[in-house]
Amino acid sequence: MALPFLCSVLIFTFLFCNPPPLSAQPQQNISNFSSSDSPWRPSQGQILLSPNSTFAAGFWPTPTSPNLYIFSIWYLNISVHTDIWSANANSPVSGNGTVSITASGELRLVDSSGKNLWPGNATGNPNSTKLVLRNDGVLVYGDWSSFGSPTDTILPNQQINGTRLVSRNGKYKFKNSMRLVFNDSDSYWSTANAFQKLDEYGNVWQENGEKQISSDLGAAWLRRLTLDNDGNLRVYSFQGGVDGWVVVWLAVPEICTIYGRCGANSICMNDGGNSTRCTCPPGFQQRGDSCDRKIQMTQNTKFLRLDYVNFSGGADQNNLGVQNFTICESKCLANRDCLGFGFKYDGSGYCVLQLKRLLYGYWSPGTETAMYLRVDNSESDQSNFTGMTDLLETTCPVRISLPLPPEESNTTTRNIVIICTLFAAELISGVLFFSAFLKKYIKYRDMARTLGLEFLPAGGPKRFTYAELKAATNDFSDCVGKGGFGDVYKGELPDHRIVAVKCLKNVTGGDPEFWAEVTIIARMHHLNLVRLWGFCAEKGRRILVYEYVPKGSLDKFLFPARGILKSEEDYAEDELLDPSRPPMLDWNIRYRIALGVARAIAYLHEECLEWVLHCDIKPENILLGDDFCPKISDFGLAKLKKKEDMVSMSRIRGTRGYMAPEWVKMDPITPKADVYSFGMVLLEIVSGRRNNEIQDSLTQSEDWYFPRWAFDKVFKEMRVEDILDSQIIHCYDSRLHFDMVDRMVKTAMWCLQDRPEMRPSMGKVAKMLEGTVEMMEPKKPTIFFLAD
Catalytic residue ranges: 616
Closest CA to 280 of 303, 306, 255, 259: 306
Give me the sheet containing 144-145, strands edge to edge.
Answer: 131-133, 139-141, 144-145
Is residue 321 within the footprint of ligand NAG (CB under 6 A)? no
Interaction residues for ligand NAG, span 458-497 (CB under 6 A): none
Kindly give, in sequence order, each residue whose CB lies less than 8 Å from that of residue 272, ignoring residues fewer than 6 positions away: 457, 609
Rounded to whole angstroms, the maximal C-alpha distance in the chain is 98
Interaction residues for ligand NAG, span 717-746 (CB under 6 A): none
Q: Choose, by CB under 6 A, the member of 19, 39, 272, 273 that binds ligand NAG.
A: 273
Site string for ligand NAG, 213-232 (x = CB under 6 A): ---------------x-x--
* Segments of 554-648 assigned E as strands: 622-624, 630-632
CB of 92 or CB of 630, closer to ligand NAG = 92
CB of 3 or CB of 103, closer to ligand NAG = 103
Kindly give, in sequence order, each residue whose CB lies less than 8 Å from that of residue 573, ignoring residues fewer than 6 positions away: none
Q: Choose, by CB under 6 A, the member of 8, 102, 183, 465 that binds ligand NAG.
A: 183
Stretch that binds ligand NAG, among 318-326, 490-498, 734-742, 751-759 (CB under 6 A): 318-326
Question: Minimal distance in Å, beta carbon 89 to ligand NAG?
Answer: 17
CB of 206 or CB of 401, closer to ligand NAG = 206
Number of Cβ within 10 Å of residue 92's Cβ equals: 22
Q: Length of the chain in residues, anyone?
A: 788
Question: Minimal distance in Å, beta carbon 235 to ligand NAG?
Answer: 11
Stretch that binds ligand NAG, among 273-281, 505-513, 649-657, 777-785 (CB under 6 A): 273-281
CB of 170 or CB of 430, closer to ligand NAG = 170
Is residue 326 within the footprint of ligand NAG (CB under 6 A)? yes
Question: Minimal distance in Å, beta carbon 462 to ligand NAG?
Answer: 23
The CB-based long-range contact list for 336-339 (8 Å cut-off, 24+ gap) reads 338/374, 339/314, 339/373, 339/374
Stretch that binds ligand NAG, among 25-33, 500-508, 551-559, 696-704 (CB under 6 A): 25-33
Cα separation, 304 vs 379, in Å, equals: 10
Burial class (CB in 10 A: 0-12, 13-18, 19+), 509: buried
N-term to C-term CA, the chain:
77
Question: Minimal distance in Å, beta carbon 355 to ligand NAG?
Answer: 14
Evaluate whether 79 touches 139 at the Cβ level (below 8 Å).
no
Interaction residues for ligand NAG, span 107-166 (CB under 6 A): 112, 120-121, 125-127, 135-136, 159, 161-162
Looking at the DSSP assignment, which residues form a beta bridge with residue 197? 159, 205
Interaction residues for ligand NAG, span 232-271 (CB under 6 A): 247
Please give the residue whose beta carbon sits closest to ligand NAG in the complex: 162
Interaction residues for ligand NAG, span 275-304 (CB under 6 A): 279-280
Question: Minimal distance in Å, beta carbon 121 to ligand NAG?
Answer: 4
Q: Choose, by CB under 6 A, the member of 13, 23, 25, 32 that binds ligand NAG.
A: 32
Cα separation, 618 vs 632, in Å, equals: 9
Interaction residues for ligand NAG, span 652-711 (CB under 6 A): none
Evaluate whether 297 touches 312 at the Cβ level (below 8 Å).
no
Per residue, the 3-state secondary structure of 449-508, as one string, reads: HHHHHHHCCCCCCEECCHHHHHHHCCCCCCEEEECCCEEEEEEECCCCCEEEEEEECCCC
Is residue 330 within the footprint of ligand NAG (CB under 6 A)? no
The CB-based long-range contact list for 287-290 (8 Å cut-off, 24+ gap) reads 288/263, 289/262, 289/263, 290/262, 290/263, 290/264, 290/265, 290/266
CB of 33 or CB of 485, closer to ligand NAG = 33
Question: Minimal distance in Å, beta carbon 34 to ligand NAG?
Answer: 7
Residue type, 567: S
Stretch that binds ligand NAG, among 26-34, 632-640, 716-724, 759-767 (CB under 6 A): 26-34
Question: Minimal distance in Å, beta carbon 112 to ligand NAG?
Answer: 4
Interaction residues for ligand NAG, span 68-107 (CB under 6 A): 76-77, 94, 96
Q: What is the DSSP letter of 748?
A: H
CB of 64 or CB of 127, closer to ligand NAG = 127
CB of 274 or CB of 450, closer to ligand NAG = 274
Site string for ligand NAG, 385-404 (x = CB under 6 A): x-------------------
Is residue 18 within the footprint of ligand NAG (CB under 6 A)? no
Cα separation, 388 vs 134, in Å, equals: 54
CB of 18 or CB of 32, closer to ligand NAG = 32
Q: Choose, by CB under 6 A, the member of 153, 196, 588, 727 that binds ligand NAG.
A: 196
Stretch that binds ligand NAG, among 10-18, 324-332, 633-641, 664-672 (CB under 6 A): 324-332
Question: Minimal distance in Å, beta carbon 400 to ligand NAG?
Answer: 23
Helix (H) or strand (E) holding 87: none
CA angle 354, 356, 359 (to 5 degrees): 60
Is residue 323 within the footprint of ligand NAG (CB under 6 A)? yes
CB of 205 or CB of 489, closer to ligand NAG = 205
Helix (H) or strand (E) holding 172: strand 172-175
CB of 112 or CB of 450, closer to ligand NAG = 112
CA distances from 197 to 12, 143, 200, 358, 488 (A): 42, 21, 10, 37, 36
Cα separation, 529 vs 597, in Å, equals: 8
Question: Minimal distance in Å, beta carbon 52 to ligand NAG?
Answer: 4
Number of Cβ within 10 Å of residue 674's Cβ equals: 28
Looking at the DSSP assignment, which residues form a beta bridge with residue 546? 500, 532
Rg (CA), the chain: 31
* Alpha-carbon 371 to chain mean position: 29
Question: Minimal distance in Å, beta carbon 555 to ligand NAG?
Answer: 36
Evaluate whether 167 touches 231 at the Cβ level (below 8 Å).
yes
Number of Cβ within 10 Å of residue 743's Cβ equals: 18
Question: Minimal distance in Å, beta carbon 488 to ligand NAG?
Answer: 33
With contacts defined by CB under 6 A, how many residues of the chain interact with ligand NAG?
A: 39
Cα separation, 662 vs 380, in Å, equals: 63
Is residue 327 within the footprint of ligand NAG (CB under 6 A)? yes
Site string for ligand NAG, 351-390 (x = CB under 6 A): ---------------------------------xx-----
Interaction residues for ligand NAG, span 589-618 (CB under 6 A): none
Site string for ligand NAG, 626-655 (x = CB under 6 A): ------------------------------
Cα separation, 617 vs 606, in Å, equals: 17
CB of 293 or CB of 470, closer to ligand NAG = 293
Cα separation, 402 vs 391, in Å, equals: 13
Question: Minimal distance in Å, beta carbon 464 to ligand NAG?
Answer: 25
Kindly give, in sequence order, each residue whose CB lies less than 8 Å from that of residue 649, ignoring residues fewer than 6 positions away: 484, 641
Closest CA to 101 of 80, 124, 73: 124
Name the CA dihedral angle for 544, 549, 550, 553, rounded to a multiple of 10 degrees.
-100
CB of 60 or CB of 514, closer to ligand NAG = 60
The annotation status of 502 as a binding-site residue, yes or no, is: yes
Looking at the DSSP assignment, which residues form a beta bridge with residue 116? 110
Enumerate the known binding-site residues for ATP. Answer: 502
Binding residues, as ranges, are 502
Please give the residue ranges that form the binding site for ligand NAG (CB under 6 A).
27-32, 52-54, 76-77, 94, 96, 112, 120-121, 125-127, 135-136, 159, 161-162, 183, 196, 228, 230, 247, 273-274, 279-280, 323-324, 326-327, 384-385
